[in-house]
């Protein structure tokens, strides 16, 4: 019976979780969710989410990109939506919403609907970056209404 077999993952001494399985339940679930479990005798290979090349993800947590050139810039938990960016854009752009052209009150903070927020001219979902030339100040409600639509608005 296969329940007597040990997990095929290096260093694991648990029993396989089901007939025909090569891994214990913990490693099977991790492989399904993250795809980073290394089975003894098989090389570690992952596919880059950007360029599609094969690479060695190394030990530890799963990597989705082969290197820094393929990893999208600044997409770490709303890094450009921090209040310091809102203040910086407000000071540079004169505290005016670039979408509706009404004034933005610097005394309002998230989640107030008219608080300032950082809007991407070219949305990140359409390949826009977090570089300054692609960022504008907008009311939170204007930014949310626009969503990721592309608009043609000359400065």
pLDDT digits (tens, 9 = 90+) for 124-140: 778 788 888 888 999 99
Q: What is the predicted pLDDT for the residue at 1?
A: 44
- pTM value > 0.75: no
Token output for 6: 């040990």
Cis amide linkage into residue 150, ω under 30° from 0: no
**Domain shared by 87 and 115, yes or no:** yes
15, part of any domain: yes
Provide the domain limits for residue 28.
1-40
Tell me whether residue 134 is in a domain: yes
Total domains present in the chain? 3
Residues 120 and 91 in one domain: yes
Q: Per the structure block, which two tokens stand in for 20?
A: 């025909």
**85 shares a domain with 54:** no
> Is 141 within the bounds of a domain?
yes
Please indicate, yes or no, whether residues 55 and 101 belong to a single structural domain of this protein.
Answer: no
Distance in angstroms (rounded) separating the CA atoms of residues 6 and 16: 6
pLDDT per residue over 69-127, tens digit each? 776 655 444 555 678 888 989 999 899 999 999 999 999 888 888 999 988 888 877 87
* Interatomic CA distance for residues 29 and 106, integer angstroms: 47
Q: Please report whether residue 32 resides in a domain.
A: yes
Phi and psi dihedrals of 105, rounded to 5? -80, 115
Element (H, E) at 137: strand 135-139
Closest by CA to 117, choosing from 86, 96, 90, is 86
Which carries the bigger pLDDT value, residue 40 or residue 117?
117
Encode burial over 36-47: b for 16+ CB neighbours within 10 A, e otherwise. bbbbeeeeeebe
The whole-number pLDDT of residue 122 equals 87
Residues 79, 50: Cα–Cα separation, whole Å? 21
Proportion of the chain above pLDDT 70, given as a percent: 77
């Amino acid at each position: 019976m296969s329940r007597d077999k040990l997990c095929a993952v290096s260093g694991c001494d648990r029993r396989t979780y089901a007939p025909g399985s090569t891994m214990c339940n913990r490693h099977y679930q991790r492989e399904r969710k993250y795809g980073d479990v290394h089975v003894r005798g098989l090389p570690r290979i992952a596919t880059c989410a950007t360029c599609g090349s094969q690479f060695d993800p190394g030990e530890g947590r799963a990597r989705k990109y082969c290197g820094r050139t393929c990893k999208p810039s600044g997409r770490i938990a709303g890094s450009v939506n921090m209040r310091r960016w809102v203040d910086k854009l407000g000071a540079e752009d004169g505290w005016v919403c670039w979408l509706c052209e009404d004034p933005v009150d610097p005394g309002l903070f998230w989640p107030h609907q008219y608080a300032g927020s950082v809007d991407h001219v070219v949305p990140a979902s359409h390949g826009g970056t977090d570089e300054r030339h692609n960022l504008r100040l907008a009311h939170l409600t204007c930014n949310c209404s626009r969503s990721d639509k592309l608009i043609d608005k000359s400065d």
